[in-house]
Structure 1
Amino acid sequence: MKLLYFDCFSGLSGDMIIAALLDAGADFNRLQEELKKLNIDEEYELKWKKVIKNGITSTKFDVILNDTKESLQHDHVHTDGHHHSHTSHTHEHTHSHTHTHSHSDGHTHEHSHGHTHSHHHRSYKDIVEMIETAGFNEAVEKMALDIFKKIGEAEGKIHGVSLDKVHFHEVGAVDSIIDIVGAAILLDQLNIDRFVSASVPMGTGHIHIDHGVYPVPAPATLEIMKGIPVQQSNLKAELTTPTGAAIVAVIAEEFGTIPTMKIETIGYGAGTKTFPNHPNVLRVIIGEQ
């Protein structure tokens, strides 16, 4: 049985997961081709490169929105704590947009870019329809839909609206769609039979979003993490984003230390932020059990 272990000592975000899978040998060209089925490829470009994080060679993955050509480090962004300061995003740019999204998760981010543009006001129903009509194989479609549902339910609970009424400012942003569907594509491509994860560090501190100053973990992330073992972290940063939390919450069957396995490949996915004494990377370990 092929097993994948998420060694998430620095948290999780959608882009860190994709980066770690690419680093472990997943096919970037396959990712690009499969994502074209969503029919939004004119809205973004994908970039990946090797970087060194505190001495560890890792892969960095970014979604660049064509309307601004600015790398939004999106979701991730936070992830690293950065919570994005969305700012980062600049892309937000300027726009006001910033908005909204913010949401709940504080993240605000992604959105940002939303920019103005329409895209970013995609509703939960819009995203479900986009995934269901794309023609992915059954495993990819189910995983992507389950992850979006997990985030949608958390957002709906936090904001007091039904799933049908949830608009994903942040999650509806192109980069989050890419992170979630892309993770499903790569995990399917790697033919993993079983997923196990370490307990998940959330980080500490506060993040600034449209709704004000929120504690870390942000409300939506915490809601998604119900039932999942979390671990203490002294890093003042948002280590785990809603997207990262939802991916692991949906696919991991067990949480704990590394299981007995014959290790075959290891991948390191870099986050956006750099910490002085802590490599901000997600490590995935793939092997036979």
Structure 2
Amino acid sequence: MQKILYYDCFAGISGDMNLGALVHLGVDPSYLKAELEKLKIDGFRLEIKEDKRRGISGIKAEVVIDNPENEKHRHLHHIESLINDSDLPERVKSTSLKIFSLVAEAEAKVHSIPIQKVHFHEVGALDSIADIVGAAICLDYLRVDKVVASPVQLGGGTVKCAHGIMPVPAPATAEILKNIPVKTGLVQYEATTPTGAAILAATVDEFTPVFNLDILKVGYGLGTIDTEVPNVLRVFLAEEEGSVQDVIQSDATLLECNIDDLSPENYEFAMDLLFAAGASDVWIEPVIMKKSRPASKLSVLCQPTDTGKMKTILFTHTSTIGLRESLLKKSALRREEQVVNTPYGNVRVKQSFYKGKIVNVKPEFEDCKKLSLEHNISVGTVQSSVYKRMGNGNK
């Protein structure tokens, strides 16, 4: 059976409601707090307590800022450095950066400024950093196979933002939720914030009002306002009916460009940005262009919805002046990740399945490298210990 996380956004979603819901669903609050400390920034603490909204019990998660008057405003590159320089797992970093990129792109479009010029007056604050990185930590902890959500309730009335008094939804929220089903008018306040919208847009695989799952557990994250409509985000941990398909098919976009005038070190920087923005794969091939000029073909594979972001990075951070774009059908084997305890420490292991059988087992190289350095042994020795513990000593 496939494990599913389902967001029931009947009353909207915010960053703190999301944290509360996922903790109520089963994320260890001590683990969440310890992982947030890896950001290595002071000045905030996460408070988690049980409470009720209209008689429904759940978790209220609140990021408390010690000295809000001293809170600094940040640009996207500040936040990227903060996350990339942390000791958080790579999957958490990638998800966090993807969420922040969505908010930055929305703000950049609303203000008609370059993405790196966006001034994170709200999202750059410590509470939003904790909400977004915390969301990525919680999703990584739950290790679900798929994230699904209902149409998103936006609320009604007006909201005060940097642009003045605006009708709900706020401009950034409306931009982030393009092509995502929404509802309005259930309540007369901002039910879905830009942070909540970005968490959904970055992590949800499918939006559907149809719920055809076997429920395992329910969690409630509480909002601040208490109105006639319970101000809660409801989440379900569920199993999908039927067997898991081992070959997963999806649409993908392939972007290609030939470059003969870019310094080699610039490629690594561009590739890092592309992966952080959600690229499935990035690679470089040597080619010969006209007049026998040696060059490199830079290729990017991504989800169709991420095509715009990839084009922006390629045109901004490489010397290309043109791209080729193709829509492809992508087939991928179902993968699962487990943690294997070896004599040297824990190693994450990815397993791929085909026709119900494991066809590939791959220890996470970064984990093996870290243990290799800690114990002054070869990476191969660590990998062998993983296979031995898994009963695959001949690998």
TM-score of Structure 1 vs Structure 2, range by shorter chain:
0.7 to 0.9
Task: Give the structure 1 partner of residue 264 of structure 2.
Answer: none
Query: Aligned to 1:229, which of 173, 181, 185?
Result: 181
The residue correspondences of 1:115-264 to structure 2 (distance < 5 A) are 115=69, 117=70, 119-264=71-216
Asked if residue 34 in structure 1 is aligned to residue 35 in structure 2, the reply is yes
CA distance in 1, matches of 2:166, 2:139: 33
Amino acid at match of 2:179: G
Task: Give the structure 1 partner of residue 22 of structure 2.
Answer: 21
Task: Give the structure 1 partner of residue 66 of structure 2.
Answer: 66
Please report the TM-score for the alignment, with normalisation by the length of structure 2. Answer: 0.59
CA distance in 1, matches of 2:207, 2:164: 33
Task: Give the structure 2 partner of residue 8 of structure 1.
Answer: 9
Amino acid at match of 2:238: G
Amino acid at match of 1:11: G
Secondary structure at the aligned position of 2:186 is classed as: coil
The residue correspondences of 1:51-90 to structure 2 (distance < 5 A) are 51-67=51-67
Q: Percent identity?
A: 45
How far the C-alpha of 1:259 sits from its partner, in A, is: 3.3
CA distance in 2, matches of 1:4, 1:122: 32
Alpha-carbon contact 1:199-1:228 (below 8 Å) kept: yes
CA distance in 2, matches of 1:161, 1:279: 38
Secondary structure at the aligned position of 1:4 is classed as: strand
| Structure holding more strand per residue | 2
Secondary structure at the aligned position of 1:46 is classed as: strand
Task: Give the structure 2 partner of residue 45 of structure 1.
Answer: 45
- Distance change >3 Å, CA 258–CA 59, structure 1 → 2: farther
Secondary structure at the aligned position of 2:119 is classed as: coil
Secondary structure at the aligned position of 1:284 is classed as: strand
Secondary structure at the aligned position of 2:137 is classed as: helix
How far the C-alpha of 1:45 sits from its partner, in A, is: 1.3
Alpha-carbon contact 1:5-1:258 (below 8 Å) kept: no
Asked if residue 279 in structure 1 is aligned to residue 279 in structure 2, the reply is no
Alpha-carbon contact 1:201-1:240 (below 8 Å) kept: yes
Secondary structure at the aligned position of 2:238 is classed as: strand
Alpha-carbon contact 2:161-2:170 (below 8 Å) kept: no
Task: Give the structure 2 partner of residue 95 of structure 1.
Answer: none
Alpha-carbon contact 2:151-2:183 (below 8 Å) kept: yes
How far the C-alpha of 1:208 sits from its partner, in A, is: 2.6
Q: Deviations over 1:34-59 (max 9, x none)?
A: 1111111x211111111111110111
**Higher relative contact order (CA closer than 8 Å, sequence separation 6+):** 1
Alpha-carbon contact 2:155-2:184 (below 8 Å) kept: yes
Q: Deviations over 1:182-239 (max 9, x none)?
A: 0100110011110000000111111233432111101000000001000132311000
Secondary structure at the aligned position of 2:196 is classed as: helix
Give unmatched runs, 5+ long, in structure 2: 241-395
Q: How many equivalent pairs are there? A: 239
How far the C-alpha of 1:15 sits from its partner, in A, is: 0.4
Q: Which has the larger radius of gyration?
A: 2
Alpha-carbon contact 1:120-1:168 (below 8 Å) kept: no
Alpha-carbon contact 1:120-1:170 (below 8 Å) kept: no
The 10-residue stretch of structure 1 (179-188 or 203-212) with the greater mean CA deviation from structure 2: 203-212
| Structure holding more helix per residue | 1
The 10-residue stretch of structure 1 (42-51 or 140-149) with the greater mean CA deviation from structure 2: 42-51
Give unmatched runs, 5+ long, in structure 1: 68-112
CA distance in 2, matches of 1:285, 1:144: 22
Secondary structure at the aligned position of 2:138 is classed as: helix
How far the C-alpha of 1:258 sits from its partner, in A, is: 4.5
